Each structure stands twice: as structure tokens, then as C-alpha cells.
Amino acid sequence: MKSARERMDIISAYRDVGSYRGAAAICATTPKTVRRVIERHEAGGVVPQRKPRSRNYESVAELVVGRVEKTKGRISAKRLLPEARAAGYEGSARNFRRLVATTKADWRRDHHRGRRPAVWSPGERLVIDWGVIAGLHVFCAVLAWSRVRFVRFAVDERAETTLNMLAECFETIGGVPKVVLADRMGCLKAAVVADRVVPTADYVRFASHYRFRPDFCQGNDPESKGIVENLVGYAKSDLIIGCGLVTGLDTGQDGRPVDLAVANAAARQWCAEVNAATHSEIAAVPARRLAEHELAVLGGLPSLRPRITGPAVMRKVDRLSCVRFGSARYSVPTTAIGTRVEVRTHADRLTILTTTIGKDGPAGVVLAEHRLVGPGEASVIDAHYGGPRPNAPVRAVRPKTVDEKAFCALGPTAQAFLTGAAAAGSTRLGAELGELLGLGHAHGEQVLLDALARATAFRRWRAEDVRSILAAGAAAPRPQQAGTALVVELPAVPTRSLADYAITTDVEGDAS
């Protein structure tokens, strides 16, 4: 910015030489500066208005605004650039990213719902959540006011596993909080009505036993329980990976968890360590804060831990009239196809029961009992299908053309001939059906059927063979199938001993 004296020197020099370049050489500045100072002086000392410059993305600005509003500020410039190119944008990707970033910032400024920090009370709330890495499931819980953390490992996230983890957490803490806050876990959620979560009956019984109120956070809102979300991430990075509880991650493989007992032992040691260290948020030691303040206001533990079992195993009967359990199939009566049944196991037996009142009677009626079989096998009861399984599959003859329908209308003998000829690979069968029907019109239907029966017996499948049988007529031999052995009763005759056939010699007669 030139001072007033410098501007006057430039104006005087310009008046003397009459050119921008000459005045610039005298005043040791640039011709552009001289021109700007002279134009401002001639305009009365007023800074001239800068002409607005058009942007090369103005033609697609409305498109970007619409897409940002539709996606609630989540769409990226990389995803939106092809649409802008198709709409006529010819600028650079860098300039387009500036437009998208500015538009998203404007949208967030006008649509930020705002949050307020959580205010926790002693003994009020326990926040829980699950995490998983490389097949190792980690259960995390945080006592909100004192920040005491609880971490354990499991092989699944089923309801009985979650409730057992909660019971162990209460026993480790030494009391029960008033509220347990969880996200919308499928194992604890029975239904959602008007965006309100209905807990399962087992969870309600468990909460009644420990005398706490189950609560669920808002859907798609992990920030409402960020206190435990941070713990899950910390447990994964510092405990699971830091302590080597999953092997193979450093080599780029999927990773394999170590023994569960070893992992839980490491989790207990890790919890004791982090709960004894000063927490950065509350500037206090969580274990000491729990013992000195919060433990006194927690609810007491019940005298006995409830027996926690798995939920009822429900299955739907498929079109094969079977249910799948343990990767094996078990049959039920065909009247139960499409219904839901309950599966129970005891020792080596499996029982299938009805769950609704229907054709099979009231709920709870036993439909079938089986012995447990291995994966991939099937336990089938013939009575469920109305009889034993046939040795060979039955494939009915379904004629479509006029000749096929007329030939099959002759009866089972013609259908047997058709089936045998197809199995033997007679390629001219379809073309010769009309010829066979013509033979029937010429010789009579019954005579043709007899010839077809004879051709089937001797496996002769061509129309010429049937014609030769009809030409032979009654002169053709008719062999019969072998019958049973011929048994003939022989007449009874008197028997004589071998002594009757002996030859005797008269010695005295010969001597004389």
C-alpha cells in the first residue's frame, strides 16, 4: 500500500513524462502500480470497484447444493465429480473439491443440532457395549461417574453371554447401578415400537432380579454412549493388539485369537492397571473414586446369581418338511410346512414342538423326536411323509404336443413304451409317434397295445419293430416268464431188502 507522499510523487512523474513506463522508471515501481494510482486519482480518490469474476463451477453449484442436502452433508467430492462432469463442469478436480467443501461447511453450520455435555451422578448409570476384532468379542462397561472400566472376552454376543457378563461386572464393581444403558443390541431387543425399544423377557427378568432399569440409546446415535465407544477402541488398540491377544495381524493375515482363559486373565490385569491410574477427564483415580464415594450409593447385590440359559431355539419348517439344527436336517409331519417350531435338545435326543395353535393342535405339542446326528446328515421318519421312500424317483409323463397327448391317452402300456424308448436313447421317438398312432388306426387299439407291450418286453423301440410285430400276428411266439419249480408227487412202490437179491450155491447137488 503506497503512502500519500509516494502517490503524489507518482502523479507528478506521470505528468512530467506522460507514460506509465516512464513514471515507473522514475519512481522505482512498476507500470501497473502507476496505472492504478493514476486511475484512482482521476476517479476522485475513490478505489474503483473490482469487477466480479465468474467461477467455472457456477453452472453446477445448484447440483452440488442439492446433493449435499440430500445426503445430509456426507457425500464426497470424488463421488460427486462424475455427475458434475456430465452436467457440463470442465474445471479441475481441485477447484471442484473447494466448492463441495464450502457447500458442506455451509450445510453443517445451518443444520448442526448441537449437543450438551453429559452430567453423571454417582451410582446412576452403567454404559455397556460389544466390540470384535479377528473373531475375539470384547465386552466393555463403564461406570459413568467414577469412570471404572470393566473388560472381558467371549466367543459370541448372544443374550446369555451378555447377561453373564453383566452379572460378573456387577460382582466385580461390588454393586448395581440404577440404569444400564446399551445400544440397540439384537440379543437384548425384542422389538421397536414408535422408535422405542422393547427389551426381551429374559432381560426384563434379569433386570428385576438385580433391581436396575434397562435403557437403550437413540438409534444411529453412537455419540450418546461415546463414553463406552472410546473404551471399546482403547481396549482393541491397547489390550487386544498391545498385549498380543490376537496373533497374525502384524503379518497382514486375518488374525487368530489366543485362548479365552488367557485373554480374560490379561483383561483382569489390564482393568486393574487402568482403574488405578489417573483418568485424564476427571483428574482422579477411578478405583479410589469408586471406593470412597460411589460404592456407598450403588444398589446391593442379590444373594444368588440367576440361572441364565439361552433363548428358545426357533426354526421354520422348510419345503422338505424338515428343520435345520446344528447343520443337520430333522423331519416333521408335512402338515407343519411353513410354520415355526421350537427345537429342544437333551442329551442325545432332539425334540420338535409346535409354537402356535393350528392343524397340529395346541402350542407345545411334540411334533417329532429324533436322535442327534452329525453335521450334513439327515434324520428322516417315513411316517412323516406317508410311507417309505421309493427306491427310484417317480417322474410322471407330461405330454405337450397333439401326438404325445394322443399316444399317452392309450394308457399305461403306451406310457411304459414311451418311457423305455426315451431311456434307451431313441432319437426318432418324437417323429415316430404319429406313425405308431396310424398303426393303431389300421390294426385296432387293443392290437397296437399288445404289440407295444411285446416291443417293451423285448426292448424294441422303433416303429418298424412294432410294425413287424403286428405283421407276425398270432404266429409270433409268446414266451412266458419262468415260474416256480415243478413239484410232482411220485407213486409209492414196495421196497425189498438187498438180501432178497443174494445168489446162493447148492454144494451137494453140484457134487452129485
- Beta carbons of 199 and 208 less than 8 angstroms apart: no
- Beta carbons of 375 and 326 less than 8 angstroms apart: yes
On whether residue 390 sits in a domain, the answer given is no
Q: 164 and 273: one domain? A: yes
pLDDT, residue 133, reads: 85
Helices and strands, number each (H, E), in the chain: 17, 16
pLDDT, residue 260, reads: 79
On whether residue 337 sits in a domain, the answer given is yes
Q: 137 and 260: one domain? A: yes
Q: 170 and 221: one domain? A: yes
The answer to which of 4-8, 189-193, 297-301, 401-405 has the lowest mean pLDDT is 4-8
Alpha carbon 65 to its chain's center: 36
pLDDT, residue 361, reads: 53
pTM: 0.48
DSSP per-residue string spanning 292-336: IIIGGGSBPPPSSPPP--PPPEEEE--TTSEEEETTEEEE--GGG
pLDDT, residue 49, reads: 67
Bridging pattern class, strands 179-182 and 125-133: parallel
Q: 152 and 224: one domain? A: yes
pLDDT, residue 298, reads: 94
Q: 244 and 271: one domain? A: yes
On whether residue 100 sits in a domain, the answer given is yes
- Beta carbons of 245 and 258 less than 8 angstroms apart: yes
Top-confidence residue, 291 or 258: 291
CA distance 151 to 299: 21
CA distances, 174 to each of 287, 289, 299 (Å): 12, 13, 9
Cross-strand partners of 343: 313, 352
CA distances, 104 to each of 57, 94, 212 (Å): 15, 15, 43
On whether residue 442 sits in a domain, the answer given is yes
pLDDT, residue 467, reads: 86
On whether residue 120 sits in a domain, the answer given is no
CA distance 20 to 13: 9
Name 452's Cβ contacts closer than 8 Å, sequence gap at least 6.
410, 413, 414, 416, 417, 436, 466
Question: At 247, which CATH number?
Answer: 3.30.420.10
Q: Mark residue 463 as left, alpha or beta (left: phi above 0; alpha: psi -120 to 50; beta: remaining).
A: alpha
Number of domains in the chain: 5
- Please name the amino acid found at residue 349: R
On whether residue 196 sits in a domain, the answer given is yes
What are the tens digits of pLDDT across the range 194-235? 888 899 998 999 999 999 999 998 877 767 777 888 888 888
On whether residue 168 sits in a domain, the answer given is yes
Q: 31 and 66: one domain? A: no
In this model, does residue 98 exceed pLDDT 70? yes
pLDDT, residue 478, reads: 65
Q: 137 and 284: one domain? A: yes
Q: Percent of the chain, pLDDT > 90?
A: 34
Confidence band of 140 (pLDDT split at 50, 70, 90): very high
pLDDT, residue 100, reads: 94
pLDDT, residue 479, reads: 64
Q: 367 and 417: one domain? A: no
Q: 132 and 12: one domain? A: no
Q: 145 and 292: one domain? A: yes
CA distances, 182 to each of 125, 229, 317, 427 (Å): 10, 11, 34, 70
Q: 62 and 195: one domain? A: no
What are the tens digits of pLDDT across the range 369-410? 998 888 899 999 999 988 888 776 677 788 888 888 888 888
For residue 185 the three cell numbers come to 443390541
In this model, does residue 512 exceed pLDDT 50? no
pLDDT, residue 402, reads: 86
DSSP class of residue 279 equals: B
In this model, does residue 249 exceed pLDDT 60? no
Question: Residue 181: which of 224, 211, 118 has the closest Cα?
Answer: 224
Q: Mark residue 327 as left, alpha or beta (left: phi above 0; alpha: psi -120 to 50; beta: remaining).
A: left
Question: Residue 131: which of 272, 229, 260 has the closest Cα?
Answer: 229
pLDDT, residue 294, reads: 92
- Beta carbons of 405 and 399 less than 8 angstroms apart: yes
Domain span holding position 345:
313-385
For residue 264 the three cell numbers come to 480374560
Question: Residue 103: which of 123, 125, 127, 74 has the closest Cα?
Answer: 74
In this model, does residue 103 exceed pLDDT 60? yes
Query: What average pLDDT does range 127-132 have in this prediction?
Result: 91
In this model, does residue 18 exceed pLDDT 80? yes
DSSP class of residue 26 equals: H
In this model, does residue 150 exceed pLDDT 90? yes
Mean pLDDT of the chain: 84
The answer to which of 196-200, 298-302, 364-368 has the lowest mean pLDDT is 364-368
Q: 346 and 430: one domain? A: no
pLDDT, residue 148, reads: 94
On whether residue 502 sits in a domain, the answer given is no
DSSP per-residue string spanning 455-505: HHHTT--SHHHHHHHHHHGGGS-------SPP--PPPP-----GGGG----
Query: What average pLDDT does range 490-505 have in this prediction?
Result: 81
Name 169's Cβ contacts closer than 8 Å, sequence gap at least 6.
126, 128, 141, 150, 152
pLDDT, residue 511, reads: 43
Cross-strand partners of 316: 340
What are the tens digits of pLDDT across the range 434-487? 888 888 888 888 888 888 888 888 888 888 888 888 888 766 666 667 777 777
